[in-house]
Amino acid sequence: METRIPFLEVSDAIVMSGAETLYWCMQCGLCTGSCPWRLVPGEASEQFNVRLVQRMGQLGIEGFESENCLFACTTCRTCVDRCPRGVDIIGNIQGMRSMLAEVGTIPGSLKPIVGSLHSQGNPWSGPREKRTEWTEGLSIPTFSEDTEYFLFVCCTSCYDIRSRNIAKSVVKALRTAGISFGIIGAEESCCGESIRKVGDEALFQKLAESNISLYNGKGVKKIIVTSPHCLYTFKNEYPDLGGKWEVYHYTEVLADAIKSGKIKPSGDAAGRVALHDPCYLGRHNDIYDQPRELIESLPGAELCELSRNRKNSLCCGGGGGRVWMETKAGERFAELRISEALDAGANILATACPYCITMLEDSCNVMGKSDQLKVMDLSELLAEKL
Amino acid sequence: MDQNIGVYLCSGCGIGEAIDFDALSGVAEESGVAKIYAHACMCGAEGSKVIRDDISSGAVNCVVLGACSGRVKSEIFAFDPMQTIIERVNLREHVAWCQPAGHEDTQAMAEDYVRMGIVRVQKSTLPTPYLEALDKTVLVVGGGSAGMQAALDAAKAGYSVKLVEKEPELGGHMAKWHKCLPLHPPYHEIEDIELSLTIQEIESYPNIEIFKNSTIEKISGAPGMFDVALNNGGATHRVGSIVLAAGWKPYDATKLGNLGFQKIPDVVTNVQIEEMAKAGSLTCPSDGKVPSVVGFIQCAGSRDPDHLPYCSAVCCRVSLKQAMYFKEQNEETKVIVFYKDMRTPEQAEEFYKQVQKAGVIFVKTDTSKISVNEGSELKISVETIDELLGEPIQMEVDMLVLATGMQPTVLDDPILNLEYRQGPALPALKYGFPDSHFVCFPYETRRTGIYTAGCVRQPMTCTRSKNDGTGAALKAIQCVELTSQGKAVHPRAGDLSYPNLFIQRCTQCKRCTEECPFGMYNEDIKGTPLPHPTRCRRCAICMGSCPERIISFNNYSVDMIGSMIKSISVPDEYEEKPRIIGLICENDAFPAVDMVGLNKLQYPPWVRFIPLRCLGSINLVWIADALSKGVDGIVLFGCKFGDDYQCHFIQGSELADTRMSKIKETLDRLVLESDRIRLEQISIDDYYRIPQILEEFTARLEELGPNPYKGF
């Protein structure tokens, strides 16, 4: 075996790029054992060992850079929650990616995403001016000083045809509840959560600065988001950069509205509904109860818990930039989730994240299970009963 | 003393239901005792008052108490040992609780125990304690962490202390060090060493006399009367007990050429790092420059069969501390620690985390296989397999620190220079640390009245050494107090007996002087044993060793046990009721047999247990006594022996095993099968094995058939 020569200057650069807890790691391997990649076969499963990646980082040894190694991490946070040393493993992964991004060596599949974010402010190569195309015919108010909430719709739900239904459903529910909200429009940019995880720190800073000056300029105080990813970055990362607002995921606002009786779902029985806890709603933001309350408020709904739920929820595979990368069929976490939902006897698999919807619905179709199981956003499920 | 024996029988706790008390009283009557009394609760106020009244009226001066185990209710049945002899016959755990109630074999067993108890008392006399060893001064050897603490604690408890230190000043290794490990919550920062206050307190303490620049020329005598000669040529000092806190020395790094020591100038030891840090700067010896990268090699010569096979317990923590010295000197210095396992017990785990957070790099590897050479870019190249990476790595450093382990200072210098027949040093375990009963009795050594504390005993930190000093000082105080009253120390604490030698019949065979685990006997020029009673732990191993049977105690003798064996009733061969004598260690096996009763397990009713002070006190004549009496088998229960022995007297059960290997000769003479004798090692928690052992032994005896000597 060839002798490796550690470059401690490289490890220094990784730490400087944000891997501040890199040396806290005592290499016990609990992270690797907890990683969802252990549950599937394939290249990423074979190549990505999060403990070893951090070891390479500690020693400044190369070999971790590929799409199926360092860039396999979905930032699902299972390992972080379990780490006995409190290592910010996602921060370390992000730091290592960031060091690569600075010299432009990110995976090729991410380059168009970066380009689109730079030029259009969204990752989906949609023209900036078409950001509000989904609102046609809905006469959604524009946010002003008199509006209580600024509704920030995730880029995915602005541009993706399937995902637009989530935005529309959220709007319908908020209206029914009589909540005062408005959008800003084409000037909004992507929140930048996922591109920061990919390691492009400069691009994230650019997006965040643009959003912060825009929202502050409009007098935003409270925000409702449609995606847990936007929730995470607005709530946890923007404050350091000057964006200090009250931020809520729509499930929180709507669960409140149901409790206070502003919304009363009615209609046909919803049936057996399984809930997939999105990583960024659950482990990252600690919201577990409100989605369940929404399901339980539906007429004739029976909540069936998946075998991995709440803190142990299994990632859909779409976080950390993976939503833009290809994972082969047969190697996707979402497939395991579909099977779990079927095992639980559900006829609907509900969730509350546009990435999760994309990943789960895709797998459900690929697996040929769409006649048995319907993948729905909670907002859609609720909007049907209003 | 004219014996007036009172036999008191308790029928409580189920004993009365298991045993016919009229018949049992009849057995006692046959022995011509002064009084027989039965009560349903002897340990109650009424029952125990009867005994006390009989003693105070003079009606009874010897008590045979047939009740529960002598290990319980000892305070209720405690009488002045100078006036009263007491024998506890265990009818509860050893009969009623392990045998079927009302069975004739159960009755026979109880009757034999009462017979043996009466004989035991008949063969005892009142003690005449040894009251000539009265000095209560505590000698502390070594003025480091452990020694200073021992001296201070003994002095504070009101004892005179003599503290001997070979160096010109007190403080030991600590005085030469830069900083110590974190001592205070949250255990994140290394701390300054604060010694001056302690030294000042000791030096000004009224009853501590300090001898600096001093070593011990000779120690003669025994506990309560040790005479200590120092190298200063002055008069000898009399002391009562001794704490040896002579500390440790680093493992000789010149044996670590494989790690570059003495081959590459910038390979140094952890001790050198302390000296350099204390002097103010950590620089490469070769050029005096501050190193940019420093490596530490853990277990340098430790946990390595070619060097020290053991772990020195502190080196991991010391390297963490020294890594922080480098980081404190220059934050930019890179530190790499090559380790087998990081051992950071107690709060040191918190410190370990801090050191990791400071960016120190840890490389898990087999450090004995590291290859150290001259470097190309930096001064030293280190090549090894990073087990966490699973690949070989090569790193360069400017300076390499070998974390060497500890060895006891007594390794090649007896230090105490004892004038003992068995030699000037404390007997050592295989790694050179003074032998002690490490499982249960720290501080004890194989020289009564001499206690070890700190790293001379086992590797440990300064904090633990101080605690150790306190512990050993307490043992030393116990020793002078008990000794001055003529009492034994641990484990037969309070025993007033000591060996009596009928010296006219001594053949100078030297077995006693050689076999005593505590070096109690010196010898005169002819080889006649010279007993030092206060060195004695009353194990009676000498009694077992003596072929002339001239050694006895007022309450334990060859004749006593022999007579007890002879007192049991052995049915003839046609009754098909075999008899087994169980000679068992009183320290572990006896309580284990108690536990058989407590757990209500059953074993064959043929066995009669006789507790021995130590299995090592077994005398071969007892085997002959038993076999010629017609007993079918003899089972011996002793403690585990070997390197991790559990014998309270260190070697007793092992000596018994050796003696039993010689028993074949006796058996051949009697034309008997050697299978009739079995020795088993029984730990206190092995009680559940006892019924099975006895069942198997009984089955084997059945195969052999009855002892042909029955009825002779």
Q: Closest partner residue to A58 among B361, B390, B391, by Cβ?
A: B361
For testing the chain B interface, which of A31, A59, A85, A87 should be mutated: the one with the most B CBs within 10 Å? Answer: A59
Bridging pattern class, strands A348-351 and A271-275: parallel
> For B447-475, how does the pLDDT look when each residue is reduced to its tens digit (9 = 90+)?
999 999 999 999 999 999 999 999 999 99
> In this predicted structure, what is the pLDDT of residue A327?
96
- Average pLDDT of chain B to the nearest whole number: 95
Q: Where are the domains of chain B?
A: 1-126, 138-250+408-484, 253-404, 557-712
pLDDT band at B223 (very low <50, low <70, confident <90, very high): very high
Domain count, chain A: 3
Cα(B696)–Cα(B675) distance, rounded to whole angstroms?
12
Q: Which residues of B touch A24 (CB under 8 A)?
A: 353, 356-357
Cα(B231)–Cα(B166) distance, rounded to whole angstroms?
10
Same domain membership, residue A245 and residue A122: yes
Identify the weakest region by mean pLDDT among B152-161, B222-231, B313-322, B637-646: B637-646
Amino acid, single-letter form, for residue B705: G
pLDDT band at B437 (very low <50, low <70, confident <90, very high): confident
Same domain membership, residue A91 and residue A227: no
Q: What is the mean pLDDT of residues B218-235?
A: 96
B357 to chain A, closest Cα gap in Å: 5
> In this predicted structure, what is the pLDDT of residue B438?
67
Distances (CA, A) of B328 to A121, B268, B333: 47, 19, 9
> Does A274 reside within a domain?
yes
Q: Closest partner residue to B393 among A4, A21, A85, by Cβ?
A: A4
Same domain membership, residue A372 and residue A286: yes
> In this predicted structure, what is the pLDDT of residue A49?
97
Amino acid, single-letter form, for residue B295: G
What's B65's DSSP letter? E
Q: Which residue has the higher pLDDT, B575 or A316?
A: A316
Cα(A241)–Cα(A192) distance, rounded to whole angstroms?
13
3-class SS at A373? coil
- Return the bridge partners of B610, or none: B583
Q: Closest partner residue to B393 among A6, A52, A85, by Cβ?
A: A6
B400 to chain A, closest Cα gap in Å: 17
Same domain membership, residue A100 and residue A221: no
Query: B66 with B113: CB under 8 angstroms?
Result: yes
> Does A25 reside within a domain?
yes
Cα(A280)–Cα(A230) distance, rounded to whole angstroms?
9
Amino acid, single-letter form, for residue B55: I
Helices (H), B75-180: 104-122, 145-156
Beta-carbon count within 10 A of B150 CB = 35
Q: What is the mean pLDDT of residues B304-320?
A: 97
Q: Which residue has the higher pLDDT, B668 or A112?
A: A112
Work out how many CB contacts closer than 8 A connect A with B: 58
Closest CA to B396 of A9, A43, A365: A9
Q: Is the pLDDT of residue B322 over 80?
A: yes
Same domain membership, residue A280 and residue A241: no
Architecture of domain B253-404: 3-Layer(bba) Sandwich (3.50)
Cα(B481)–Cα(B158) distance, rounded to whole angstroms?
12
> Does A259 reside within a domain?
no
Across the interface, whether the CB atoms of A27 and B353 are under 8 A apart is answered no
Q: What is the mean pLDDT of residues A33-53?
A: 97
Write the Ramachandran bin of A362: left for phi over 0, alpha for psi from -120 to 50, otherwise beta.
Answer: alpha
Same domain membership, residue A231 and residue A115: yes
> Does A3 reside within a domain?
no
Amino acid, single-letter form, for residue B383: E
Write the Ramachandran bin of A160: left for phi over 0, alpha for psi from -120 to 50, otherwise beta.
Answer: beta
Q: Which residue has the tokens 């009399």?
A: B238
CATH code for the domain in which residue A52 is found: 1.10.1060.10
A4 to chain B: nearest residue by CA? B393
Beta-carbon count within 10 A of B499 CB = 24
Q: Is the pLDDT of residue A326 over 90?
A: yes
Same domain membership, residue A122 and residue A236: yes
Strand runs (DSSP E) across chain A, as ranges? 149-152, 181-182, 222-225, 246-249, 271-275, 301-305, 348-351, 374-377
> Does A1 reside within a domain?
no
Output Rg (C-alpha) for chain B, integer angstroms: 31
Q: What is the mean pLDDT of residues B6-19?
A: 97
Q: Which residues of A touch B360 (CB under 8 A)?
A: 23
> In this predicted structure, what is the pLDDT of residue A140?
95
Same domain membership, residue A250 and residue A119: yes
Same domain membership, residue A97 and residue A218: no
Same domain membership, residue A249 and residue A317: no
Cα(B18)–Cα(B36) distance, rounded to whole angstroms?
19
> Does A362 reside within a domain?
yes
Q: Is the pLDDT of residue B167 over 90?
A: yes
Query: B452 with B244: CB under 8 angstroms?
Result: yes
For testing the chain A interface, which of B292, B356, B384, B394 should be mutated: the one with the most A CBs within 10 Å? Answer: B356
Which one of 3.40.50, 1.10.10, 3.50.50, 2.60.40 gives the CATH number of domain B557-712?
3.40.50
Number of helices (H), then strands (E), in chain A? 17, 8
CATH number of B138-250+408-484: 3.50.50.60
Amino acid, single-letter form, for residue B408: P
In Å, the largest CA–CA distance within chain B is 97
Across the interface, whether the CB atoms of B353 and A85 are under 8 A apart is answered yes
> In this predicted structure, what is the pLDDT of residue B109?
98
Cα(B336)–Cα(B319) distance, rounded to whole angstroms?
10
Q: Which domain holds residue A284?
A: 264-384
pLDDT band at A383 (very low <50, low <70, confident <90, very high): very high
Bridging pattern class, strands B380-386 and B391-397: antiparallel
> In this predicted structure, what is the pLDDT of residue B706?
92
Query: B564 with B534: CB under 8 angstroms?
Result: no
Distances (CA, A) of B172 to B165, B242, B318, B319, B659: 9, 18, 17, 20, 46
Q: Which residues of A touch B391 (CB under 8 A)?
A: 1-4
Q: ipTM of the assembly? A: 0.88
Last residue of a domain, one of A105, A129, A160: A105
First to last CA, chain A: 66
Q: Hey, do B138-250+408-484 and B253-404 end up sharing a CATH topology, with the first three levels equal?
A: yes
> For B388-416, how does the pLDDT look when each residue is reduced to its tens digit (9 = 90+)?
999 999 999 999 999 999 999 999 999 99
3-class SS at B376? coil
Q: Which residue has the tokens 């077995």?
A: B511
Identify the weakest region by mean pLDDT among A135-149, A256-270, B654-668: B654-668
Q: Is the pLDDT of residue A105 over 90?
A: no
Cα(B242)–Cα(B137) distance, rounded to whole angstroms?
9
Across the interface, whether the CB atoms of B389 and A4 are under 8 A apart is answered yes
Q: Which residues of A touch B388 (CB under 8 A)?
A: 27, 51-52, 55
Q: Is the pLDDT of residue A290 over 90?
A: yes
Q: Which residue has the tokens 């920062």?
A: B189
Same domain membership, residue A224 and residue A118: yes
Beta-carbon count within 10 A of B507 CB = 12
CATH number of B1-126: 3.40.50
Q: Which residue has the tokens 């004695």?
A: B536
> Does A2 reside within a domain?
no
Residues 6+ apart with CB under 8 A from B663: B620, B623, B674, B677
B485 to chain A, closest Cα gap in Å: 57
Angle at B121 between CA B119 and CA B122, to 5 degrees: 60
Cα(B190)–Cα(B195) distance, rounded to whole angstroms?
15
Angle between helical axes of A89-102 and A8-16 (0-180°, round to 10): 110
Q: Is the pLDDT of residue B436 over 90?
A: no
Cα(B247)–Cα(B410) distance, rounded to whole angstroms?
8
Helices (H), B457-599: 462-484, 511-515, 541-545, 558-567, 589-598
Q: Is the pLDDT of residue B626 over 80?
A: yes
Last residue of a domain, one of A43, A70, A105: A105
Same domain membership, residue A83 and residue A133: no
> In this predicted structure, what is the pLDDT of residue B232?
87
